[in-house]
Structure 1
Amino acid sequence: MLTWDSEIWGKLTGPYSSADNVPVLLQQLMQQYSQEVFDDLFQEHLFHQNTIYTATYAAMPFLAQIACSTSDAEVRKELFINGGIIEASRNECDEDPFPESWAELAEEAGSSVCTELYREYLEAIGKLKTLTKEVFSYAADPSIDDTEKRYILVADAAYRGSHSVANMLMTFMAGDEYVVVCPACAEDVFIWPDEDNPAEILQAYEHDPVFHTGQEAHVIAPVTSFADEEIRALAERAEAIGEQRLVRHLYYLAGETECPSCREKISVWPSLLGTFTM
């Protein structure tokens, strides 16, 4: 990990160009965790406007160390979730020794520095992944609401390398609507809960039901079991932490329907994830 006084911090980028505040805030967290300080660090410096920066990569080993050493389950959960959000936002096509987008940093700080920063980032992600069992056990408590459970599933998917699943869940965090693209006609298909049974049944619509009421609902034929490995893994994990609405909806998201625009058959899951494949 970088030392607090390393000159490399001054070469890293954040949302406001300089990353000088990042080591200051990290040092405060390492001394005594504060949710207020972490929120400032995460929202204003590491993940500002849903974007990650070279400073984000450099900060991750410190956050992983806090998460792995704390005895506070709530802190562990917070860092697990936010680390997963960062990992989900990373370009999954990045390869060793470091991301191509770091070319300017490599020129300024040296390739060896970039290689080490990226290696330490990946190592930190691995450490956070080892916390999955503990976080899932904590999240299974009924006091944890469904939104937090879904964020935990986002992080878990990211740590498992299922970036498209993680980003899909983040995009449709409320879990009450999804949008897929028909592979035949490229039109959007709106997946929406049935009015009479919203927790159980999903249906397909040609237009956004929020703005177009009274339109025809198209049946989605649910599956009875999951053939796709990714959706099966997600269902198992959703079941483990008690996100039952998502479990029930996944049978429909793994099913088939008719495109309301062109009437071609659609397999919902690949059409849903296709939007999030890098």
Structure 2
Amino acid sequence: MLPLTEISQWKKLSSAFNNSEEIPELLQKLSETFDIDLMIEITTEYISHQMSLYEVTFAVFPYLIELIEKTEDHEFKLETFLYTMAMFSEYGGDEEMDFIFLDSKCDPEKIVEIKNTFNNSFGKLNQIAVLLELDILKKDEYDKRHFLTALAVSNRIFEVSSVLWRYSENEEYICTCPSCGESLTLWNENDRLVQYKEDPVFVKDQEKFSVEPAVLSKAEYSKAIISEKNYQWLSYYIDKFEVESLRVIINYLFGKTICGYCYTKFEIFENIE
């Protein structure tokens, strides 16, 4: 990890508000207090902003994971895990990290150290997630949905984490017809998705198109979190954690619909914007 004492190197790292030299002191304080409010301040105001990642994000990440492993405070563990994973819900993988460091002012050997430590810490996420499963069962629907996002991030399935994060309110989804390229609105009506050509909030009088839900038996659920079985593992953990707001909707998200413009039938999830 980039030592907290090397302020000159921290200062060279890009950050949301050009204040990366302040972060070592904040991390030191966090390691002493395990204060959740301070953790939220660091993750939302210093190392990430509006889902943008910076060089300092990758330098701080290993420290946050280390604190999760170190503390016995389960509330701090879970909240830090959720906030840290949220930052990476739309992460583009190693290519994005390399791009962020492309014109870095930081010393080359320090960049290599930051990247390696980040990847090593990322490899610990699966084990951390397993240890937090009992804790998430006690939380509300909001946290449970974000834990699903965290599971996807932990397993580098960013095509799932980005959808779960972007549409966390679960009220409407936007998808693109793979045939004609038109954007379509999927509207949640009593836990059933229907499709409109335009946003029904603004265009009241328009045709409604049905969504054909996918069907999956419990015997087909998968505990293994792999991208080849996104529907199966999401269904498993939605059931396990009792995420009621997604219990029915998940079948529609992996269902099919007919484009309101060109009438081509297509699968929904892989075409969500």
Judge same fold: TM > 0.5, yes or no: yes
User: Of the candidates 110, 120, 124, which is equivalent to residue 121 of structure 2?
Assistant: 124
Distance 2:173 2:19 in 1: 38
Q: Tell me the alpha carbon deviations over residues 196-244 of structure 1, each in whole angstroms, 9 at most, x when there is no partner.
A: xx13x21111111111224322111112128961122222122221112
Matched, 1:16 2:13: no
Cross-structure match for 2:210: 219
Give the RMSD, CA atoms, in angstroms. 1.9
Cross-structure match for 1:42: 43
Distance 2:95 2:264 in 1: 36
Cross-structure match for 2:184: 189
Distance 2:205 2:142 in 1: 29
Q: CA deviation at 1:30?
A: 0.4
Which amino acid in structure 2 is aligned with residue 58 of structure 1? A
| Gapped regions of structure 1 (runs ≥ 5) | none
Kept after mapping to 2: 8 A contact 1:68/1:127? no
Cross-structure match for 1:99: 98
Q: CA deviation at 1:59?
A: 0.7
Kept after mapping to 1: 8 A contact 2:196/2:207? yes
Cross-structure match for 1:150: 145
Q: CA deviation at 1:129?
A: 2.7
Distance 1:89 1:263 in 2: 31
Identity of aligned residues (%): 23
- Structure 1 pair 103–93 and aligned structure 2 pair: CA distance change class (3 A): closer
Which amino acid in structure 1 is aligned with residue 20 of structure 2? A
What secondary structure, in the 3-state scheme, does the structure 2 residue paired with 1:184 have? coil
Kept after mapping to 1: 8 A contact 2:54/2:100? no
Kept after mapping to 1: 8 A contact 2:2/2:113? no
Kept after mapping to 1: 8 A contact 2:16/2:49? yes
Kept after mapping to 2: 8 A contact 1:177/1:191? yes
| Gapped regions of structure 2 (runs ≥ 5) | 221-227
Which amino acid in structure 1 is aligned with residue 195 of structure 2? A
Q: CA deviation at 1:33?
A: 1.1
Distance 2:207 2:25 in 1: 56
Distance 1:39 1:32 in 2: 13
Cross-structure match for 1:244: 244
Cross-structure match for 1:160: 155
Kept after mapping to 1: 8 A contact 2:186/2:194? yes
Q: CA deviation at 1:193?
A: 2.0
Q: CA deviation at 1:36?
A: 2.1
Which amino acid in structure 1 is aligned with residue 88 of structure 2? E
How many equivalent pairs are there?
Answer: 263
Which amino acid in structure 1 is aligned with residue 163 of structure 2? M
Alignment of 1:24-103 (within 5 A): 24-94=25-95, 99-103=98-102
Distance 2:181 2:48 in 1: 32
Q: Tell me the alpha carbon deviations over residues 5-53 of structure 1, each in whole angstroms, 9 at most, x when there is no partner.
A: 2131121111122411111111100011112211221111111222111
Distance 2:181 2:82 in 1: 33
